Amino acid sequence: MPPNDRPGGLGVGIVGMGGIGVLHARAVAELAGRARLVAFSGAGTPGVPGAVRLAPQEVITHPDVDVVAVCTPSGTHAALTLTALEAGRHVVVEKPLALGTGDALRVARTAHDRGRTVSMIAQRRLEPGHVALRRALDAGALGELRLVTAHLHWHRDDAYYRTAGWRSAADQGGGSLMNQGVHTVDLLRWLCGPVESVTAQSGTLAHAIAAEDTTAATLRFASGALGVLTTTTATPPGFPATIALYGARGSVELGQGEVLRWDVPGVPPPPAGSRASGAADPLAIGHAGHLAQWTRVVDALEAGAPVPVGVDDAVETVRLLCAIEEAAATGRQVHPGSL
């Protein structure tokens, strides 16, 4: 039976029912009639009647599952996404798509070869302030972009790292850049265009972990604009992330759900959004952003249209993350396009 003709809509399987998996389950539940949770793996409880708990491979191959949501630790995203694609499923994968450019490109090739879609969760693109800023940029309302600053100054205590070992290990996707900073890096690239080169430094300043907890990077965009990015989990009590863009005709600074500055001639500021932030609690973000992206994924699959934050787009975010990591590790200027 074609997915669109299934009773209840698209069948969804969630691999990884931790805190983030539960947010996905809540989002899918609000799409009742268009999507339904069929099966899940992991220790958590989705609170959705009728969904069955299975082993990860059984979730992926369940005959009623059309879309697999990968909500496991970051280091497993690429392998599970590949498995789901090879089983003929569409995939919604938590950030990041992969930890390395090679794995990200393998996922992209497989998706194209199998004719399946991959949507990486990047729900911050859908916040009202960022949507309005992107429209202003596309309309040229800020003029030539000159300077960009983005700061994610959060706090995670030692218990956070003890609870899940992967958060402490750089080779498993831990660290303030790859784990917490990924959304900010994605926003920078989405709003400001490709990055031509990066330099960076990183350090482990507050935690006994095998990953950085603080990174500072400089970026030169292909447009010629310069940027500064900082990420950390070492600044208690934790502060909402900010992003500021300065152009020849206007400037904007956004917090999480807040418009801190909107100096764009002829363009009114957008309404405030939700101020939910993971600054001190990773699950304080709520599921509204996930619902917004899931809604667009279901719209796209029903219409046979491209999904939001598709696989090629997601590859470029991984490429930039890896360039920053390499620049910090080597002390050299790195060109993301060479990775």
Q: Are residues 247 and 203 in the same domain?
A: yes
Residue pair 57/34 in contact by the 8 Å Cβ criterion:
no
**Is the pLDDT score of 248 beyond 90?**
yes
Q: How far is CA 193 from the centre of its chain?
A: 17
Q: Are residues 222 and 334 in the same domain?
A: yes
**Residue 283 falls inside a structural domain:** no
The CATH number of whichever domain residue 145 belongs to comes to: 3.30.360.10
pLDDT, tens digit (0-9, with 9 covering 90-100), for 225-246: 999 999 999 999 999 999 999 9
Residue pair 157/280 in contact by the 8 Å Cβ criterion:
no
The sign of the CA dihedral 284, 285, 288, 293 is negative
Looking at residue 1, its pLDDT comes to 42
Neighbours of 86 (CB within 10 A): 13
pTM of the model: 0.95
Q: Are residues 222 and 253 in the same domain?
A: yes
pLDDT, tens digit (0-9, with 9 covering 90-100), for 276-308: 778 877 877 789 999 999 999 999 999 999 999
**Residue 193 falls inside a structural domain:** yes
Residue pair 91/83 in contact by the 8 Å Cβ criterion:
no
Q: Are residues 74 and 106 in the same domain?
A: yes
Q: Are residues 172 and 86 in the same domain?
A: no
Q: Are residues 256 and 131 in the same domain?
A: yes
Q: Are residues 116 and 129 in the same domain?
A: no
Residue pair 226/217 in contact by the 8 Å Cβ criterion:
no
Q: Are residues 211 and 245 in the same domain?
A: yes
Average pLDDT over residues 195-199: 98
Alpha-carbon span 71 to 77, nearest angstrom: 8
**Residue 103 falls inside a structural domain:** yes
The CATH number of whichever domain residue 86 belongs to comes to: 3.40.50.720
Q: Are residues 322 and 232 in the same domain?
A: yes
pLDDT, tens digit (0-9, with 9 covering 90-100), for 104-134: 999 999 999 999 999 999 999 999 999 999 9
How many distinct structural domains can be found in the chain?
A: 2
The 3-class secondary structure across the chain, one letter per residue, is: CCHHHCCCCEEEEEECCCHHHHHHHHHHHCCCCCEEEEEEECCCCCCCCCCEECCHHHHHHCCCCCEEEECCCHHHHHHHHHHHHHCCCEEEECCCCCCCHHHHHHHHHHHHHHCCCEEECCHHHHCHHHHHHHHHHHCCCCCCEEEEEEEEECECCHHHHHHCHHHHEHHHCCCHHHHHCHHHHHHHHHHHCCEEEEEEEEECCCCCCECCCEEEEEEEECCCCEEEEEEECECCCCCCCEEEEEECCCEEEECCCCEEEEECCCCCCCCCCCCCCCCCCCCCCCCHHHHHHHHHHHHHHHHCCCCCCCHHHHHHHHHHHHHHHHHHHHCCCECHHHC
**Residue 284 falls inside a structural domain:** no
Residue 227 lies in domain: 125-277+317-338
Q: Are residues 141 and 157 in the same domain?
A: yes
Looking at residue 284, its pLDDT comes to 74
The rounded percent of the chain whose pLDDT value lies above 90 is 92
Q: Are residues 11 and 21 in the same domain?
A: yes
User: Which residues are within 8 A (CB) of 282 and not within 5 positions of it... i.e. 6 or more apart?
Assistant: 19, 156, 160
